[in-house]
Structure 1
């Protein structure tokens, strides 16, 4: 059913179609519209769900954890500093293998204070043990959210659906919402095999001594690697239901014969595609849309990069004092290729800086032009605005 909806409104309706039994939330821009929309559906009697308004994001994650363990399909959402306040519980949820879903409406981290979009928040918790799926469009966000509940519950791992704040959450556009019948047929009723039951008392999350902790972490790691199969299957099965897919672990777009590749996460892909389509004078590129950042799809990435001479990794975050976050992981993944491409790593659009169509030309000039850039750099940073020592 195609409707003109803001991204957040569409996500609220999609989450309701997944029939969560408990939603715990604390407002933070730009995530607030999602849980406001869910709250309205509950208040209007259109969703049978316990909507829990808590006093902090730490509490929101805690309530979702408890609800899922007690036998309810649970959901929460947050962004930016809220993700950091949740961090303690995010590690608990993942380490205890709790199957729940959250939306991260990606937003820059303080300080200085910034409420606009980049992906520093989800990157800050990339090692918490959650599956992380990044969406390039609002339609992908809708479809990925439905898939996320199935992935979480089949793999017994939490799933974070990462959606660029404002760029997607606050954009109004025609979107195709699935029907309740389609979602019900795709997503079975919630069941957590290791949950708590008063008739069979047990403890969850108790102390694990050094004699067993390594095995716990190994099992968690292996479960994430195995989840790649379910991520692919969830996407292909959903495509059979609605006639569209999100790309599985990653998707190759653009010119498949190009020797230049550009790897991205999130909505910046659309800008780069438009730039290439609108300017025939620019070199053609093979675009790699990295959808699954955790688990990291090493084998799929190597296959996508076959035949490339040059690969640009474009990020919306950075590791201060080191440089790129995704770029070094890409380099490590490709090093065993017979002829790996030369990897160039850039960040852009930090703190919501506008990403114009000229970004494509900037990237191409930086790796193929006369004054090629070495190492990692923030490609849209204006050196004239920096102190001389930082240029």
Structure 2
């Protein structure tokens, strides 16, 4: 057995293929998800609330649980730059960051999808400066939603582990070849400990299949090539090549919707845990109206919906897991079942004075060719909690839309006036 198999399974008999129960937080769960994917190269730099994640990775390498090259570099810009070189040489690569670290990484970060490099990066999401804040929110991830990375949001610690492993197979698929962000809420998932099931390494190895992470370009001294050539200028290929690259990226993003669904199904068939890969519908079939959620807030929203159902309210939930590419068809299948929606964001869209998930949901709804009464709710900023009581008020406010009420402004949750 390999070291990771020894860490996960005690014997070579039938238990070799049994999962192991652990109690851990979301950052450790992400590290186990990386370990199961068997990366070749990791580059890291700590930043709150991600720091313990990369500390776990360092520990796993020291203990032989992960057999990978670990680069401790001087900052996030170097993190992504180093991983680009490794990925171009054919390595399976991983990192994690958030907030100002993501901002420092931005230049090579936006270059990665254009190079069609299928690396995985965990974003342990946090709100942004200023006022000074090191606590959870979705603002950092929402700021880079147009950078060309696939984005998937997790609701639970278990989902963090499972999605992290699946992300490698999704990004490396020949029809995708794009980097993937696995987003987990800072504070709530990063430090929230719970029981999880760690799947046996042989089962995950069978799920991952043969490693083939860079079939389109692999740097080799025996086979020199130019990477990322200048597309403009006299005598060059010009803007048409650039447009071809962009079209190819867009095709890869749209292909990812299918690949994400296929990968989640195969994970469920092999490991025994199924997730809604794009959009989850909760108590929606007979609902008159719904809340739209993303990330860990969904747990409190489900509790609030259950309470409202006990009181006769016909309300459900539409949870977005895959945010990039935006799952327009899956969202619209869910939206077609209800007459009104309240969308809850943990970030803001400054240009539209609403939440970004709210804006995206309304844009998708335009394809339904019908007016859908809606309200934007903003809460959970800077690590503040969105409780069951808050969601009960969101349900009450959203229900007013069915009576013809209209909200001209977003409704702010847990704001001190």
Q: What secondary structure does 2:160 align onto? A: helix
Q: Structure 2-normalised TM-score?
A: 0.88
Give the Cα–Cα distance (whole angstroms) in 2 for the partners of residues 175 and 6 of structure 1.
9
- Separation of aligned partners in 1, 2:230 and 2:361: 36
Within 5 Å, give how 1:1-391 maps onto structure 2: 1-154=20-173, 155-188=176-209, 189-193=211-215, 194-209=217-232, 210-279=239-308, 280-281=310-311, 283-323=313-353, 324-369=355-400, 372=405, 374-382=407-415, 384=417
List per-residue Cα deviations over 1:207-230 (Å, max 9, x = no partner).
122232222212211210111100
Are the aligned partners of 1:276 and 1:282 in contact in 2 as well (CA < 8 Å)? no
Asked if the contact 2:154–2:295 (Cα under 8 Å) also holds between the matched residues in 1, the reply is: yes
Matched residues in 1 for 2:130 and 2:222: separation?
Answer: 49
Task: Please give the alpha-carbon distance, in whole angstroms, between the structure 1 residues aligned to 2:393 and 2:157.
Answer: 27
Following the alignment from structure 1 to structure 2, what is the Cα–Cα distance between the partners of residues 104 and 316? 15
Structure 2 gap segments, 5+ residues each: 1-19, 233-238
SS at match of 1:335: helix
Q: Is the 8 A contact 2:377 2:410 kept in 1?
A: yes
Structure 1: gaps of 5 or more residues: 385-391
Please say if residues 259 and 285 of structure 1, whose CA atoms lie closer than 8 Å, have aligned partners that are also in contact.
Answer: yes
Please state whether the residue corresponding to 2:32 is helix, strand or coil: helix
Larger mean CA deviation between 52-61 and 247-256 belongs to: 247-256
* 2-structure distance, mates of 1:282, 1:123: 35
Deviation at 1:340, TM superposition (A): 4.7
Displacement of 1:325 in angstroms is: 1.3
Aligned length: 384
My pick for the range that moved more, 319-328 or 20-29, is: 319-328
1: CA distance, partners of 2:155 / 2:348: 19
User: What is residue 387 of structure 1 aligned with on the other side?
Assistant: none
CA distance in structure 1 between the partners assigned to 2:273 and 2:290 by the alignment: 24
Q: Which moved more, 1:231-240 or 1:355-364?
A: 355-364
C-alpha RMSD over aligned residues: 1.7
Tell me which moved more, 188-197 or 328-337: 188-197
- The Cα of 1:156 is off from its aligned counterpart by 0.6
